[in-house]
A and B are shown apart, each in its own frame.
Chain A
Amino acid sequence: MTTKVGVVVFPGSNCEQDVVEAVDTIGGSGELLWHKDSGLGDVDAVVLPGGFAHGDYLRTGAMARFSPIMDAVERFAREGGPVVGICNGFQILTEAQLLPGALYKNRGLKFLCQPTMLRVNSTGSILTRDLSIGDELNIPINHFEGNFICSEQVLAQLRDKDQIVLTYQDNPNGATADIAGISNENGNVVGLMPHPERAAHPLLGSTDGASLLRGLISSG
């Protein structure tokens, strides 16, 4: 059966069509969900895409976490459903406290839009379970606030519980411990700043993002 991936559209999201396209390309079925929906329908996985949900007013993700659909997303996540937040979606997941830490302005105050080399640091997450530790992935970033910050205590927990999913080879934004993506303890909720949907076709210069998204497809 084809895995159905729900992609939540907030006012100001702008990567939702790319995610749907990427999911369809690798054999899943992408479906848009509206942030005012109260349920998730019959989707097998949820993606919160990149963009500027609610204009990033107050803080990135601060308004979006209170969008009506987020109750259903939180329930789905706590029941073990696969939930992935990409870029702004990662920021929303931290604001919703489905993932620890926070994302703050890049060191250097530059909006960064460039390919980055990532290293797979854990295979315990929904996105990386078919990959190997040490695998290198070439996936672009596109953000101003991707600098991952957490307390020493949270960092120690992330390390202990194998929740650091992806790290940057050459830290572009000042993120703590070179962190590009983390998961919750169960591995079913993942947030990452790089955009796998923008590296899901040879025409885009890399298919390494498809390798990550395939984890979502095989989960259904």
Chain B
Amino acid sequence: MSTAFDVAVEVSLRDGIADPEGLTIERALPALGFGGVSGVRVGKSLRFVVEASNEADALQQVEAMCERFLANPVIEDVDISLSPVS
């Protein structure tokens, strides 16, 4: 019996790698009246549903996808969250 899991993968630049987009947004915010913002980082998020026998299996599948395809470990980190489809 397999279960469907909602998966959210956040892909972000690794710490220490300059993020020119984040920097540009951070510089633009004060000009629009939004002061006090720092540490802006831009990434991307992926949402999908995966079928697996249990949560551990689902996580393992998603980790493998991230490692092989969804992210580039040279420059990116991933943050995976999943929950059974309600």
Contact = CB atoms under 8 A, between A and B. Distances in A.
Interface size range of chain A in the complex: 10 to 19
A101 B74 CA distance: 6
A149 B74 contact: yes
B69 A62 contact: yes
B20 A107 contact: yes
26 contacts: A58-B70, A59-B72, A62-B69, A62-B72, A94-B74, A95-B72, A100-B74, A101-B74, A102-B72, A102-B74, A102-B75, A104-B13, A104-B17, A104-B75, A106-B20, A107-B18, A107-B20, A108-B20, A109-B20, A109-B21, A109-B24, A149-B74, A149-B75, A151-B74, A174-B18, A174-B20
Contacts of A161: none
Contacts of A150: 74
A91 to B, nearest CB: 10
B20 A149 contact: no
A33 to B, nearest CB: 23
Contacts of A201: none
A206 B60 CA distance: 52
A105 interface: yes
Given A94-B74, A100-B74, 19 more contacts: A62-B69, A62-B72, A66-B69, A95-B72, A101-B74, A102-B72, A102-B74, A104-B13, A104-B17, A105-B20, A105-B21, A106-B20, A107-B20, A108-B20, A109-B20, A149-B74, A149-B75, A151-B74, A174-B20
Nearest to A108: B20
A65 B47 CA distance: 23
A66 B18 CA distance: 28
Contacts of B69: 58, 62, 66
Contacts of A104: 13, 17, 75
Contacts of B13: 104
A102 B75 CA distance: 7
A70 B75 CA distance: 22
Nearest to B71: A59
Contacts of B20: 105-109, 174
Nearest to B42: A105
Chain A CB within 10 Å, residue with most, of B24, B70, B75: B75
Interface string B53-86: 0000000000000000110101100000000000
Contacts of A94: 74
Nearest to A174: B18
Contacts of B18: 107, 174
